[in-house]
Structure 1
Amino acid sequence: MVHLITELSKYTMIILFALYTWQCFSSLKRNVDLEEQAWKFRKQVVYMYLFHLNAYAVLYLATKNQDLLKFYLEQVIFFTAVQVCYGIFYKRVSRLIVNNMCMLMCIGFVILTRLSYQHALKQFVIAAVSMAVTMLIPYFISRWKFVRSLTWIYALAGITMLGVVAVLGAVSHGAKLSFSVAGITVQPSEFIKIIFVFFVASMFYESTEFIQVVKATVVAALHVIILVLSRDLGAGLIFFIAYMVMLYVATRKLYYFAGGMICGAAASVAAYFLFNHVRVRVVAWQDPLAVFANEGNQVSHSLFAIGTGGWFGMGLNQGMPYKIPEVKQDFIFSAIAEELGGIFAICLILVCVSCFLMFLNIAMQMKDFFYKLVALGLGTIYGFQIFLSVGGDIKFIPSTGVTLPLVSYGGSSLLSTLIIFAVIQGLYLMRERDQGESKGKTGTKNNKTKEKKRLKKKGGISSHEETIHGTKIQDFD
């Protein structure tokens, strides 16, 4: 009976998530009625709660673990609190970003609970605390103007923290990634990438002259070099791509971008010969089955899991994701594809893409150049991290050890992504406020024009009288 319910539920979850994904893109259409758009967002929330209930019902029936019922209710309270708090405190917030943030965390909690209840519980606690902290960020971002003037403080903070990790950090998978404080493991590069975006935006906001570009490039290169020395090449690649995109958009000079990409390609070749773990990952990417016992073990099992799941998946608790090393972090996308299916996995990618498109949309509509670059930089980091994570899991590119934001296990990754989403929400609020003010000014001008026309028709006033009446009308308004 349990197997039958599990088999049926996987189709239900695919349908619910597909409907949710459809609403993501239909709400992005131009000239959508506000009431219709709000209705789409409400439907998304319903789909999310139904998927969540379906998934935990299957997990409970499969494991008979009473703790799952309590854990499920705690998550429902958490998601409801997030939705309500954003609705109360930020009435003009982007509901699509809020819904996607909750949906991605929901999927992460579900798959982590299937893999390890203790890890899922720890991830949930981190999410609750992180959400409470980041809930204030949109308010401050939309009002604090001095953040654009802290250029060299951003640079100093980023380089210092990366330097500390390079010297004192613990080695994990051949790279110095983190250190522990009071028993809590922190990966500073996850937070420094946000500071780095603010630094680059501040530099190019001040000027895009050649000397300014040289200064920014030197500091950016110093960030990347420290990461390379720490052998955290995945983070170094994210920093590099974010800088190149921001540089091109700020200067509009293609030769800057082309030159940077050529230097990056040369550096990647050098890294192949300098670092053994880079060669291992390249060998595993080229032909993982040929080195299945050693280098290709992770990638091979990842491909087996994706292939076994097919389009509709094996069903929750029916696959063998434990065979994939680091499945909770680097290869969680493979576990999702195995048990929830290829269609579900594609929808997951599309939801992430909708977030990325929303970030770019906000960047394009920001009037202030500094905030435009911030939105662009954070969007690039988010989008490129999705590409690295999923690309490594499906053997499209060599594995870089990058987590899937909001889904993979990891406190630093979760908190940093929630900060990115909160900053973007602050920029969205700023954009909405600016547009509201512009519409208000336009409306006032239109009212004045209508009043002038009314006076002309009523009394046939002269040009001189129009000026006088116009002054009176303006004073009155």
Structure 2
Amino acid sequence: MINVIVELSKYIILTLMIVYTFHCFYTVRQSDEEDRNELLRQQLLLIFFIDFTAFLVLYLKTFNFKIVEFYAEMLLFFAAIQILYRLLYKKASILLLNNMCMLLSVGFIMLCRLDISSAQKQLLIAAGVSAIALVIPVMIRKMRFLRRLTWVYAGIGIILLAAVFALARTSYGAKLSLLGVQPSEAIKITFVFFMASFLSRDTSFKAIVQVTVVAALHVGILVLSKDLGSAVIFFVAYLVMVYVATRNVGYLALGIGGGSAAAVVAYHLFGHVRQRVSAWKDPMAVYQNEGYQIVQSLFAIGTGGWFGMGLYQGSPESIPVVKNDFVFSAICEELGGIFAICLILVCMSFFLMIVNIALRIINPFYKLIALGLGVEYAFQVFLTIGGATKFIPMTGVTLPLVSYGGSSLLCTILMLAIIQGLYILREDEDEEFEKRKQEAIQRLRAGETINRTRQI
């Protein structure tokens, strides 16, 4: 009977995920507020039923009561965050909030499947950070002096990265964390704020040179620390923000050329890079060593097929560091390729929403912040999934909100809280514009009335 439930569950979860993904894109197109709110409520129901089905299977396969306790705590967390955002921020983007809850749900399901203690830690971190993040949107609206802290952001980033390079121990071939925290995750935010603060005031050639020097220091320290995934994310964010701020194709071309040359130099200088490229080119040739991880990942993806093996029917634990770097492969194996594609589309919906917010914000400082954070999020998703599927060499970054990792989860939730603050700012700008428009129309009508009276 349990095997029948497991087999049926994967089709139920897949169907619910497909409907949720459709809602992500269809909701944006709804102009009627009542229809949009109804779709958002349906999304919450879909998340609930996906979680209920998945955790029912997890419990039936293990009869571990900790899974039931975790499920109840997770539901309480989601209910609290949904209610508090609606109470505190009437103008918040509920679609953005729903997508965050969906991605967290997928992560919690897979972490419970792989390691219940890791799932409990992840939930605790998510709850704590979300409580802090609730004050971020109001800070974005009220603290107008943030754009003047240009060199503070640069100093914080460089000092913290230098401390990691000097003091951190090497883990998996790279220096990543200091005292259990990965500072590069937090510096993604300060780096974007630095770039936005500088470029919103000045886009002259001299300013671009100064920005490039600071960005090069960030990326250079990360490369020396062998944290290549973060280095690439910083570089892409720098490149896109400079291009958008200046609209100069020459800077974009120089950046791409310089980045390509730097990649070649890194390949020849660092054996760590050569190993990952070798594993990417032909993992079977180095299966016993650096190719083992990617080969196991590809086996998992291929075994899952379109519909997946079902929860607890596969063997994702055979992939080294699966809950951190290769959680996407575990999802493919047990929940299926179609589910994984839907997950990618939800992430894409996330990014498109952030870009839409950036395009509609008038203030250039906030516009660049939204764009920079969106690019960092999207490129991190690309690096993680691309590495797991052998599309690109593995870079060792996590899938935001899904993979296990306290620093990544903390900074992603804070990043999304900043985006919520920018979304509310955009709504404020729209209201102010509409108010001025109505006032102008009233003045125009009043002027016409006076002219008619004079003519009479």
* 2:232 is the counterpart of 1:237: yes
* 2:381 is the counterpart of 1:386: yes
Q: Deviations over 1:342-395 (max 9, x none)?
A: 010000000000000001001111100011110110000000000000000000
Tell me by how many angstroms 1:400 deviates: 0.2
Show the 5 A alignment for 1:59-78: 59-78=58-77
What's the counterpart of residue 329 of structure 1? Answer: 324
What's the counterpart of residue 475 of structure 1? Answer: none
* 2:259 is the counterpart of 1:259: no
Q: Deviations over 1:405-441 (max 9, x none)?
A: 0000000000010011000000000000110111112
Q: Deviations over 1:62-104 (max 9, x none)?
A: 0001121111111101000000000000010011110001110
- Rg comparison, structure with higher value: 1
Show the 5 A alignment for 1:243-322: 243-322=238-317
> What secondary structure is seen at the aligned counterpart in 1 of 2:176?
strand
What's the counterpart of residue 461 of structure 1? Answer: 453
CA distance in structure 1 between the partners assigned to 2:448 and 2:44 by the alignment: 49
The one-letter code matched in structure 2 to 1:462 is R
CA distance in structure 2 between the partners assigned to 1:263 and 1:102 by the alignment: 39
* 2:9 is the counterpart of 1:9: yes
Show the 5 A alignment for 1:31-430: 32-180=31-179, 185-430=180-425
CA distance in structure 1 between the partners assigned to 2:447 and 2:76 by the alignment: 56
What's the counterpart of residue 25 of structure 2? Answer: 25
CA distance in structure 1 between the partners assigned to 2:34 and 2:256 by the alignment: 45
The one-letter code matched in structure 1 to 2:265 is A
CA distance in structure 2 between the partners assigned to 1:445 and 1:201 by the alignment: 33
CA distance in structure 1 between the partners assigned to 2:398 and 2:140 by the alignment: 26
CA distance in structure 2 between the partners assigned to 1:193 and 1:167 by the alignment: 19
Aligned-pair identity in percent equals 53
Q: Deviations over 1:282-333 (max 9, x none)?
A: 1111111121111210100100000000000000111100110010000000
Q: Deviations over 1:210-260 (max 9, x none)?
A: 111111100110111111111111111100000000000011111111011
CA distance in structure 2 between the partners assigned to 1:170 and 1:84 by the alignment: 42
> What secondary structure is seen at the aligned counterpart in 2 of 1:159?
helix
Tell me by how many angstroms 1:455 deviates: 6.3
Tell me by how many angstroms 1:454 deviates: 5.6
What's the counterpart of residue 441 of structure 1? Answer: 436
Tell me by how many angstroms 1:451 deviates: 4.7
The one-letter code matched in structure 1 to 2:154 is A
Tell me by how many angstroms 1:57 deviates: 0.4
Tell me by how many angstroms 1:205 deviates: 1.3
CA distance in structure 1 between the partners assigned to 2:317 and 2:445 by the alignment: 71
The one-letter code matched in structure 2 to 1:33 is D
The one-letter code matched in structure 1 to 2:340 is A
Q: TM-score, normalized by length of structure 1?
A: 0.94
The one-letter code matched in structure 1 to 2:25 is F
Q: Deviations over 1:5-48 (max 9, x none)?
A: 0000000000111111100001122x621111111111100000
CA distance in structure 2 between the partners assigned to 1:171 and 1:44 by the alignment: 43
CA distance in structure 2 between the partners assigned to 1:153 and 1:426 by the alignment: 21
> What secondary structure is seen at the aligned counterpart in 2 of 1:206?
coil
Q: TM-score, normalized by length of structure 2?
A: 0.98
Q: Which runs of 5+ in 2 are unaligned?
A: none
CA distance in structure 2 between the partners assigned to 1:22 and 1:329 by the alignment: 28
Q: Deviations over 1:168-199 (max 9, x none)?
A: 0121111110011xxxx100000001100000
CA distance in structure 2 between the partners assigned to 1:96 and 1:275 by the alignment: 43
Q: Deviations over 1:91-130 (max 9, x none)?
A: 1001111000111001100100000001111111111101
